[in-house]
């Protein structure tokens, strides 16, 4: 495909940037499953990334069709036609391969790519997220995968697993909701003096959270102006959150809290918000809670702690992060009943998907972590 | 004002209906504070109500201006100009007076109307909802009111207080969120064998929930495409919910649950959804829980229990109740962690406001409860 | 099916209304193609209509499935399951049959129903709109129909064809855009002293204008936040507008104007707006133009002439007619270049579809024209 | 203010880019009127621009308040507080000053800045767009300005006036609608063999097109779900379009066409679309028309000619250009009546405002025209 050439053309304006990066050479990357929504977003980000060069773009069901067919915004950006998936070709031509297919496909594609010699595979699907094979079977009964790889895969939340990413061969990117929940909950590690045994999570998502598959419930006529409950008993991102909370020591009195989650579709295309609610025993003031957030995220560029003052949109809102890799978080205490409230908002396609995959890729390659991810939010949209 | 005459003209098509009601005479009603959003909605409903006749429409700040100025949809419906508020005139001309002003005004207007001889005053504001004077001062410090009336006022949720409404002189209509939460929670009275000590509530509201006052955060540019947290530590409808749950015996092990609530603005004009989440000890299966809902609402026309099957919008969603007085509810059990999930959706201006006020009025007057409220939801919008 | 019984239950509150209509008996109606969006809207309106009784509801592809499956808002309204289409049964059980199928089906269903003895068939599809067989073949090449019936069919715009409707056996309901354009243009008949040889029409439509068929371009992810041109060279409602303008004498200097139309999808579910722009020679002041509108629509309940004053939504806007059968129109003169501007807005599913079908039905049956159509717009939505 | 320092911090990731630009030094810029919507967008773009350094940010009514107060998306981006406007300080500290105030303020601020020694002032308001003083008084009666400067000012549409921009001291940036209309109409210069005497323009705009001033009609409750006509008799961007068409030779048979425009608010925050409709005499096929577009824009990076194939959003739609400086255009011929249709879509805040101002600035400074404007559209939003 013409991806490489075209990309060079597109990047002529950024040529200086590349030259200016000093000794760091650009890496060649491939995107498998590029006709989906996360795939399209990845192409957008890669076309603007001075450190990565698009070399390979495949989409099994659209092979031979122009990559702009589902990505009208990328018109004239230099993309060619989708290729059919070929593990050997991808592995040979690319330094890094991103897999943005459904998990049923990714479960097989990841080992095929590694067997064909790929050095680094970054899987955006849930195929390799759950280490425990029973848990995996419970939540993804139709997803066959290589269990050994699942145990090696690094869970790609850089704020949590930065060190481990450096040596990764397979990175299993977190789900969009899981990213927001984990970044909201992580500072709880620093809170002492209270006990809480359960956290209720309420998640709200835009329509891109459901992927590109056609469904009646996804038609504009049905999907606009809704607050549509789905997965009320529990969303499939719950087990990966439990796994990560357990591994990273978010616990009250030594045991991880019960975690339950219910989700809603709201009238957004892009964006996601989570609220975490927990009733506690003991004493906790809001200032103490917030300090834990500031401490945890002091050096994290992509996590912004909101304090609810000085702006017309003073709290985490997906509207204020559109197109960017930021995760906005805030924390409150409702003293009347002993309840803490944690809120996080992200762009589900960037920090909740393709942007975070680039961030993890940068860490794994030893690139500056923010490279290709400097875009400020487009606001208001 | 020309309301009465005009209304007659408007109702010529419904004249047969009135005649057909048998002996029941129509009652004359007034709307105080008719320039607000709830006031406009009340006018719409009253214009279509065969049992009630609009006799008096006031709006202090818009006196002398046409009532359609803020109600373009009511063009040519026969409304005249807004009057200035005059308690004596309203009391004399009307059988029932609805007060749809801000609570600061309603606190004084309600006793003035009664003193002037009004037989029934229905207050849509929060001025008379909280019986306990301390609680009232805590949440509404700027709202002066007549404490004695506050103790007599009937909380106007017909599904809860039908009997008491028959003798009411003052009806304090519930808040929009409170209506949805209480209808979601009420069947818990019938659940045995579990203990739960807290309920977390997550509320999502359209922009009409914030009234008509101009604010930057309410401008379309800022308010569209949001999931905007507000009142994260607790919404002011919480104390009235606690009061009603306590009075009506929703309790676990004899004590009312802790209740915490956080709310969000979503990109809806009209509509509201609440999720209630509670972790329990003991055994509860979903079928048992649902039976409690079906039993509680078997004879309630306006509460529809959803079971999540057989439709593209199978669960409570404000989209499926637009313009109607329905409250849709559903209940689930997440067995993985012992959590129950209760969801309710209403049109905040109808069942959460003006429609429920008509329903309470019908009960108080001995009219058929559904009179004027038969409209099916307009769908899809 | 249980429609009749159920409907009786639903209508118990309206029983007085029926009794009050004097001698007028209710008529039994059927809806063929009730699983589409216009079909669902027709069911909603019929359930609230005191003069018509639902007796038959069919949907070929959904036969045996509950009618609420695609109509969640009608839950508990007493509808049973969809039947398979059977012309004999429909004709026998119903006084009036509405056909809300795609035109390919309607082309055949209409004569079948008449052959089976139906007295009145009201076709919401475009199958019988264009009298001229060549024009029909040009715009609807796949729609076979009975040409003789096409010549008998009455074009069902009551404001244009009231007299002819009284004797109709087949009523061909206008397209949604055609309704708005014709009501905007009709008063031009009364304008003298200018010549104009062309009218450019710009149409904007919500997503329900495209029907219920699943398409990528109709997915919320793609369809939200658009101004999406479609049919830029000419919309298929153009020929029926030309036919009606010609037959009803809208002409400049004796010859009908050239008419060109381009259409856009906008981010609305329900609603439609048209702008008609024409450059003229001669003298025309706005007051004269508006007088023509007031004269034309003085006695038309469903057409409201807007003059752009005294309201926050002072001009025709689909937002101000949601759920109602109103068509709002306004007319302006741009003196700087000799241009007149006509604007009309409707709810495409009511005045642009199912509501107007009821209106035409009422006229044909000799019922009060507004019966079942008294609902005021739900505003704001 | 801390803008400069902060910006350096923010730009550390782009340092290589700056270094890589060869000898080109960055220029220091100021933004006057930075609390408005165009001002905020300008700050966003400047923060990502490797060639320009923010040195001065003023907002008279918000002086002393943090610049992020109205720009929540720019949190932590290194902006300080707004300064009060001071022409001398701005002129001294900056190489280029952007004026993004209302025109009443800009009319005076532009000459003050030049008098104080500013080398280049770029005015985003309409104060200096209309050269003819009578035309200016007619459309902007409240805007006092320096008429001499108005005659020197270069109309800042780079695709039209690239050469003149090189020597500009004052650049008057086009209105958002004017930009789209002119880019749609410009290729008509290359069309022979037809005559057309008038063009009707229909414009659709998101809510950011109306600026940040609070108004009832701009509240979400009122502004969502509309197709709201405004300025039906003619929009104030019409005279600048006429001026530019006249100066640049878009004419039929030697005389410029009559141009009339009507505009609508649609439910978009960001984005704008225009349709131009004209009936012609003579022969024109679509292929010929499109060739003129391809020829005109072959070398224009920011204008993309759409041909309506191969994508789910195949025609110019504001959705496909969000956050980018692209203008998408398409042209059609409706042979049935001899009508051509030109459609253009832009992001009103970027190509219709702040982005185009940067583009013009780049041309004036001799910088690469695309510098700081490489961002691809964020899609889908």
Please, which pLDDT band fits residue D311 given cuts at 50, 70 and 90?
low
Mean pLDDT of A29-49: 96
| % of chain C at pLDDT higher than 70 | 93
Select the residue of D70, D324, D375 nearest A312 (Cβ to Cβ). D70
Residue D57 in this model has a pLDDT that exceeds 60 = yes
Q: At what angle do helices A238-247 and A176-185 cross, to 10 degrees?
A: 40
Look up residue C188 and give its two tokens: 């031009």
Are the Cβ atoms of D223 and B218 closer than 8 angstroms? no
Select the residue of C232, C341, C345 nearest D227 (Cβ to Cβ). C345
Mean pLDDT of A305-334: 91
Note the pLDDT of residue C206.
98
Are the Cβ atoms of A50 and D17 closer than 8 angstroms? yes
Residue C5 in this model has a pLDDT that exceeds 80 = no
Q: Is C87 helix (H, G, I), strand (E, B) or coil?
A: helix
Look up residue C29 and give its two tokens: 């109606």
Burial class (CB in 10 A: 0-12, 13-18, 19+), B62: middle
Note the pLDDT of residue D122.
98
Select the residue of D230, D234, D335 nearest C336 (Cβ to Cβ). D234
Note the pLDDT of residue C216.
82
Mean pLDDT of B327-334: 98
Are the Cβ atoms of B374 and C48 closer than 8 angstroms? yes
Are the Cβ atoms of C219 and A220 closer than 8 angstroms? yes
Select the residue of B72, B380, B381 nearest C320 (Cβ to Cβ). B72
The predicted-structure confidence for A217-235, as pLDDT tens digits, reads as follows 899 999 999 999 999 999 9
Q: Is B199 helix (H, G, I), strand (E, B) or coil?
A: strand
Cβ-based contacts under 8 A for chains A and B = 184
Q: Is B237 helix (H, G, I), strand (E, B) or coil?
A: coil
The predicted-structure confidence for D137-192, as pLDDT tens digits, reads as follows 999 999 999 999 999 999 999 999 999 999 999 999 999 999 999 999 999 999 99
Q: Does residue A285 or residue A311 have the better pLDDT?
A: A285
Q: How far is it, in rounded angstroms, from Cα B245 to Cα B186?
A: 8
Residue C93 in this model has a pLDDT that exceeds 80 = yes
Q: Which of C285-299, D160-174, D253-267 has the lowest mean pLDDT?
A: D253-267
DSSP structure string for D138-197: HH-TT----HHHHHHPEE--HHHHHHHHTT-SEEEPPPHHHHHHHHHHGGGGG--SEE--
Which residues in A lie closer than 8 A to residue C214 (C-beta atoms)? 214-216, 219
CA of A245: how far to CAs of A186, A192, A194, B83, C105, in Å? 8, 16, 17, 61, 58
Select the residue of A214, A216, A224 nearest C269 (Cβ to Cβ). A224
Q: How far is it, in rounded angstroms, from Cα B112 to Cα A221?
A: 48
Mean pLDDT of B153-180: 98
Please, which pLDDT band fits residue C311 given cuts at 50, 70 and 90?
low
Select the residue of D217, D269, D277 nearest C262 (Cβ to Cβ). D277
Note the pLDDT of residue C378.
97
Say if CB B259 and CB B246 are below 8 A apart.
no
Task: Work out the number of other CB atoms within 10 angstroms of the CB of residue B295.
Answer: 12
Q: Does residue C227 or residue A24 have the better pLDDT?
A: C227
Element (H or E) spanning C16, and its range?
A: helix C15-20
At residue D153's C-alpha, the angle toward residues D147 and D155, to 5°, is 125
Interface test with D, best of C227, C280, C327, C346 (most D CBs within 10 A): C227
Residue of B nearest to A263 (CA): B275
Select the residue of D207, D216, D221 nearest B269 (Cβ to Cβ). D221
Q: Which residues of A touch C (CB under 8 A)?
A: 37, 207-208, 212, 214-216, 218-225, 267, 269, 381
Note the pLDDT of residue D377.
97
Note the pLDDT of residue B22.
47
Q: How far is it, in rounded angstroms, from Cα B132 to Cα B147?
A: 9
Quote helix, strand, coil % in chain A, to nearest 5: 40, 20, 40
Are the Cβ atoms of B376 and C18 closer than 8 angstroms? no
Are the Cβ atoms of C277 and D264 closer than 8 angstroms? no
Interface test with D, best of B41, B65, B219, B230 (most D CBs within 10 A): B219
Are the Cβ atoms of B269 and D225 closer than 8 angstroms? yes
Residue of A nearest to B235 (CA): A334
DSSP structure string for D236-251: TTHHHHHHHHHHTT--
Task: Work out the number of other CB atoms within 10 angstroms of the CB of residue A79.
Answer: 23
Mean pLDDT of A309-335: 92
Residue D9 in this model has a pLDDT that exceeds 90 = no
The predicted-structure confidence for A93-123, as pLDDT tens digits, reads as follows 999 999 999 999 999 999 999 999 999 999 9
Residue with tokens 């139309």: C261
Note the pLDDT of residue A18.
39
Are the Cβ atoms of A268 and B267 closer than 8 angstroms? yes
All partners of chain D with 3 or more CB pairs under 8 angstroms? A, B, C
Which residues in C lie closer than 8 A to residue D224 (C-beta atoms)? 380
Note the pLDDT of residue B213.
78
Note the pLDDT of residue C13.
31
Q: Is D377 helix (H, G, I), strand (E, B) or coil?
A: coil
Interface test with A, best of D40, D208, D381 (most A CBs within 10 A): D381
Which residues in B lie closer than 8 A to residue C371 (C-beta atoms)? 13
What radius of gyration do chain B's Cα atoms show?
20
Residue A14 in this model has a pLDDT that exceeds 70 = no
Are the Cβ atoms of B200 and A197 closer than 8 angstroms? no
Interface test with D, best of B220, B226, B227 (most D CBs within 10 A): B220
ipTM over 0.95: no
Residue A34 in this model has a pLDDT that exceeds 60 = yes
User: How close is the nearest chain B Cα to the Cα of A221, in Å?
Assistant: 7
Which residues in B lie closer than 8 A to residue C221 (C-beta atoms)? none
User: How close is the nearest chain A Cα to the Cα of B355, in Å?
Assistant: 21
User: How close is the nearest chain B Cα to the Cα of A224, in Å?
Assistant: 8
The predicted-structure confidence for C315-353, as pLDDT tens digits, reads as follows 999 999 999 999 999 999 999 999 999 999 999 999 999
- pLDDT winner (highest mean) among B256-260, D2-6, D74-78: B256-260
Q: How far is it, in rounded angstroms, from Cα B285 to Cα D198?
A: 72
Strands C198-205 and C194-195: unpaired
Cis peptide before C380 (omega within 30 of 0): yes
Look up residue D281 and give its two tokens: 């005499």
Q: Where are the alpha helices (DSSP H) in chain B?
A: 3-10, 15-20, 37-47, 87-93, 103-115, 133-139, 147-152, 158-165, 176-185, 220-223, 238-247, 286-297, 355-365
Are the Cβ atoms of D262 and C341 closer than 8 angstroms? yes
Are the Cβ atoms of D219 and B224 closer than 8 angstroms? no
Select the residue of D222, D278, D334 nearest C312 (Cβ to Cβ). D222
Please, which pLDDT band fits residue A303 given cuts at 50, 70 and 90?
very high
Contacts of A178 (CB under 8 A, 6+ apart): A237, A240, A241, A244
User: pTM of the prediction?
Assistant: 0.94
The predicted-structure confidence for C139-194, as pLDDT tens digits, reads as follows 999 999 999 999 999 999 999 999 999 999 999 999 999 999 999 999 999 999 99
Say if CB C306 and CB C256 are below 8 A apart.
no
Are the Cβ atoms of A200 and B197 closer than 8 angstroms? no
Mean pLDDT of B147-151: 98
Which residues in C lie closer than 8 A to residue D341 (C-beta atoms)? 232-233, 260, 262
| Average pLDDT score over chain A | 92
Residue of C nearest to B350 (CA): C378
Are the Cβ atoms of D214 and B216 closer than 8 angstroms? yes
Are the Cβ atoms of D204 and C334 closer than 8 angstroms? no
User: How close is the nearest chain D Cα to the Cα of C316, in Å?
Assistant: 7
Note the pLDDT of residue D7.
33
Residue of D nearest to C346 (CA): D227
Residue with tokens 């409230």: A341
- Could you confirm whether A176 is annotated as catalytic? yes
Element (H or E) spanning D106, and its range?
A: helix D103-115
Q: Which of D233, D239, D337 is nearest to C339 (CA)?
A: D233
The predicted-structure confidence for B219-273, as pLDDT tens digits, reads as follows 999 999 999 999 999 999 999 999 999 999 888 878 889 999 999 999 999 999 9
Note the pLDDT of residue D313.
79
Note the pLDDT of residue B311.
66
Contacts of A26 (CB under 8 A, 6+ apart): A18, A50, A51, A52, A53
Q: Does residue C73 or residue D3 have the better pLDDT?
A: C73
């Amino acid at each position: 495909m013409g991806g490489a050439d075209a990309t060079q053309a597109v990047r002529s304006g950024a040529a200086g940037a590349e030259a200016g990066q000093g000794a760091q050479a650009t890496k060649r990357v491939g995107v498998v499953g590029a006709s989906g929504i996360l795939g399209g977003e990845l192409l957008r980000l890669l076309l603007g990334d001075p450190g990565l060069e698009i070399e390979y773009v495949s989409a099994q069901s659209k092979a031979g069709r122009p990559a702009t067919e589902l990505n009208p915004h990328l018109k004239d950006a230099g993309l060619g036609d989708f290729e059919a998936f070929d593990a050997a070709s991808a592995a040979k031509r690319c330094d890094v391969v991103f897999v943005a297919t459904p998990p049923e496909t990714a479960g097989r594609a990841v080992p095929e790519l590694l067997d064909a010699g790929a050095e680094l595979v970054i899987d955006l699907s849930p195929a390799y997220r759950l280490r425990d094979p029973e848990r995996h079977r419970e939540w993804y009964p139709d997803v066959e995968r290589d269990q050994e790889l699942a145990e090696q895969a690094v869970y790609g939340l850089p704020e949590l697993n930065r060190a481990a990413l450096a040596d990764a061969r397979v990175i299993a990117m977190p789900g969009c909701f899981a990213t927001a929940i984990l970044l909201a909950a992580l500072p709880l590690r620093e809170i002492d003096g209270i006990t809480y045994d359960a956290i209720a999570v309420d998640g709200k998502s835009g329509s891109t959270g459901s992927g590109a598959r056609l469904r009646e419930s996804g038609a504009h006529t049905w999907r606009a102006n809704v607050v549509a409950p789905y997965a009320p008993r529990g969303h499939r991102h719950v087990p990966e959150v439990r796994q990560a909370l357990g591994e990273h020591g978010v616990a009250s009195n030594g045991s991880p809290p019960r975690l339950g989650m219910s989700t809603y579709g709201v009238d957004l295309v892009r964006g996601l918000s989570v609220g975490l609610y927990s009733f506690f025993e003991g004493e906790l003031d809001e200032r103490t809670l917030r300090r834990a957030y500031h401490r945890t995220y002091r050096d994290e560029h992509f996590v912004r702690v909101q304090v609810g003052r000085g702006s017309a949109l003073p709290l985490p809102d997906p509207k204020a992060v559109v197109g960017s890799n930021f995760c906005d978080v805030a924390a409150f205490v409702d003293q009347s009943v002993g309840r803490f409230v944690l809120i996080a908002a992200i762009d589900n396609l960037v920090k909740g998907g393709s942007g975070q995959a680039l961030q993890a890729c940068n860490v794994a390659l030893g690139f500056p972590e923010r490279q290709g991810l400097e875009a400020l939010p487009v606001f208001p949209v």
